[in-house]
Structure 1
Amino acid sequence: MSSIANTPQPPYYAVIFTSLRTEGDNGYTEMADRMAVLASEQPGFLGIESAREAVGITVSYWSDLESIKNWKANLEHLKAQKLGREQWYSSFKTRISRVERDYGIY
């Protein structure tokens, strides 16, 4: 996940997940990689970008709110969410935004 997502023309949606990790990996890296693959297989998925440093930030892009709702309810993703709350994150926040405009050099 070291590239910039190639998103379509707006509008589309961004799910911004910001987190502070607990100590140790405890299976986190493997699960995070699996969630990126699983998300990419979901209808409405457009791309993902992630940076994992002192503050972890993952932004996934989606075509519509229904696709985001379905991803949140995915059984494997629900398991990862539970593990995140129980052992991987000391704090986290999820924000959902509608992208109205984007630009840049790719």
Structure 2
Amino acid sequence: MIVTVFRSRLNAESQDEYQQSSARMSELAKGIAGYISHKGFTAADGERVTIVEFESEEGLRAWATHPEHVKAKKMGRQVFFSDYRVQVCSVIRDTAHRKPAMDRADA
């Protein structure tokens, strides 16, 4: 599995335009072969983090080179973000645990 960690700070004046672009990119990413998931978070200090998972580098490469995504990345550099950082990582280990439904508070 390949995990991309995208950290950014959004320019306040471009929030509306960014939201539209972000929704479109979310829709597109889900259609790329090898896509697993993505989730975004915003910290109290305004930093945004998006974690994207693909099955392989080939899937990630298809996403990175998708024409609409290429255009959105350019907009990100020019308009949306005051700064950003992209880290692409190979998963070395993946461990998970989930309590049975009857033990969880949300059950």
Provide the TM-score with structure 2 as the length reference: 0.82
The answer to whether the aligner puts 1:30 opposite 2:20 as a matched pair is yes
Deviation at 1:26, TM superposition (A): 4.5
Match of 1:49 among 35, 39, 58: 39
Of the three residues 86, 89, 92, the one matched with 1:94 is 86
Q: Tell me which amino acid in the other structure corresponds to 2:94.
A: R
1:26 touches 1:88 (CA, 8 Å); kept in 2?
A: no
Root mean square deviation of aligned Cα: 1.4
Aligned to 2:8, what secondary structure does the other structure show?
A: strand
% of aligned pairs identical?
A: 21
More helix by share: 2
In the alignment, structure 1 segments of 5+ residues that lack a partner are 1-11
Matches of 2:97 and 2:8, distance apart in 1: 26
* 1:69 equivalenced with 2:47 (yes/no): no
Q: Larger Cα Rg: Structure 1 or Structure 2?
A: 2
Q: Is the partner of 1:103 in helix, strand or coil?
A: coil
Q: For 2:42 and 2:65, how far apart are their aligned partners in 1?
A: 24
Distance 2:97 2:50 in 1: 19
TM-score by length of structure 1 reads 0.83
The structure 2 residue matched to 1:105, chosen from 89, 98, 102, is 98
Query: After TM superposition, which residue ranges in structure 1, 4 or more long, deviate above 4 angstroms?
Result: none
Aligned residues: 95
Does the residue aligned with 1:105 lie in a helix, a strand or coil?
coil
